[in-house]
Structure 1
């Protein structure tokens, strides 16, 4: 229940959300000014044949609240997560699990932790999205590092621990788990089940997940984005099923066995200096990050 299959995937296309998230990361480097929040230098290549079309929305209508909101959303959550990964790797964590990996490019950007073989990357996603990504990487002449393992998963397959174990994951060693852009498409029960799987990982493991706030907790910018995007997602067959208040998400995490649970609003996900901007990016009360840690046992 970690990833969501849609009609597009059944036709061999990646999920639309994977494409739009990558397009927003790519567009940040084209449309927005300094300071750069997050430099995803491979996002454009991973969009393959859809690159020009998807980027054009941002280049033509970059200040539109939904498009600017999308760019703020994806760059902030990616920046926060990769900063946390760098800290974890610095303290000896050698495994990075990306649930619903989509077109995430961490493992392929030159000089990344994966390239130096210090961190093994497990990309968990629907096979259709993974196939698209591998073709796009090959077309862009980007090699898949030895430290990357694709873990195909969809709604019909088994639980996360078994999938990871079969892919060579060391369950006795801590990992950082990234779970971005997925929870809103899942029921609360499915979110709880995945958090429980993370809670069973080795002590010291961390999870970073984003989740959408319910309408009454959003500000005006967040509510404009939320209502328009939720409607568009539903029309594409990828409806939002869960919007959670921070205390509700924290309760799910604690019930799953996670110890320290932090709630990070978009404004606080990146260094404050990065909000000193002359472009359209502004922090919104729309989504939050959950950052939980598996406590020592005993």
Structure 2
């Protein structure tokens, strides 16, 4: 839910967690997003104040852990794929993600940011105020996963320059828990229509009974808060259920990664409050070759 031109509360909370990580937690950072603070705009003092005052609280520390772990995993994967020639990156539910404006990879990868119009308007206004240019390799795709037909997403992407004939990385982080299973499936159908070799990283939340104690406590607190601000959690999927859903929509599961697995275990030996917990899973899948289809051509020169 968005009001008065504001971004979704979830987008603000995630950006605040990434920004606070660099202000509250000890080094070395798990994930560096120096623009997250800028994209909070007038809400920065309020949102970061909670982390500054109560940064060791399990819920705030859990929010930072979740935000930086998924960012670290996804952009590490993008870097590896870019070395193999993948140069298209679709960010579903992009929120206040700042990849296209801070990463060296942005010079090699076309980014397609998909999200609700109000969040995108907020983001573009703050980028402009900060004098940060939107690269020609970045496109904004206004889209509502629950209310628009999934096929429209493909149309919007292609109109913005996305090449259905070449592989991409698609990230879908911090979104599926807010959607119905039907809406999730429809979007997976869209991704399965991308070029073979396309990779997907999708975050999902485990159901009760598959979480550890910290994950259950975090879920109970945050789920209630999310419902109160008009963004209820709707869908929880086990690893097996997500794998089955992916296969149902013609995608091949590759791996399921929990927070503690996004980096070397030594990286979690920290003096701050960040601790991995069992609740969110990053499932990686790919688009398999279709029967009788020739392999996708090698990446060519970028067009924009």
Q: Deviations over 1:137-191 (max 9, x none)?
A: 1111111111000011124333221221122210001110010010000011111
Q: For structure 1, which runs of at least 5 residues remain unmatched after alignment?
A: 1-5
Residue from 40, 57, 64 that aligns with 1:64 = 57
Matches within 5 A, 1:127-276: 127-154=117-144, 155-159=146-150, 160-276=153-269
Contact 2:253 2:283 in 1 (8 A): no
Q: Deviations over 1:185-242 (max 9, x none)?
A: 0011111111121111100100101111112111111011100000000011100000
Q: CA deviation at 1:112?
A: 2.1
- Partner residue in 1 for 2:78: 85
Q: CA deviation at 1:255?
A: 1.2
Distance 2:23 2:217 in 1: 24
What is the CA RMSD across the aligned residues, in angstroms? 1.0
Partner of 1:264, secondary structure, is strand
Distance 2:266 2:189 in 1: 36
Matches within 5 A, 1:278-297: 278-297=271-290
User: TM-score, normalized by length of structure 1?
Assistant: 0.94
Distance 1:29 1:292 in 2: 31
- Partner residue in 2 for 1:112: 104
User: TM-score, normalized by length of structure 2?
Assistant: 0.93
Contact 1:254 1:261 in 2 (8 A): no
- Partner residue in 2 for 1:43: 36
Number of equivalences: 288
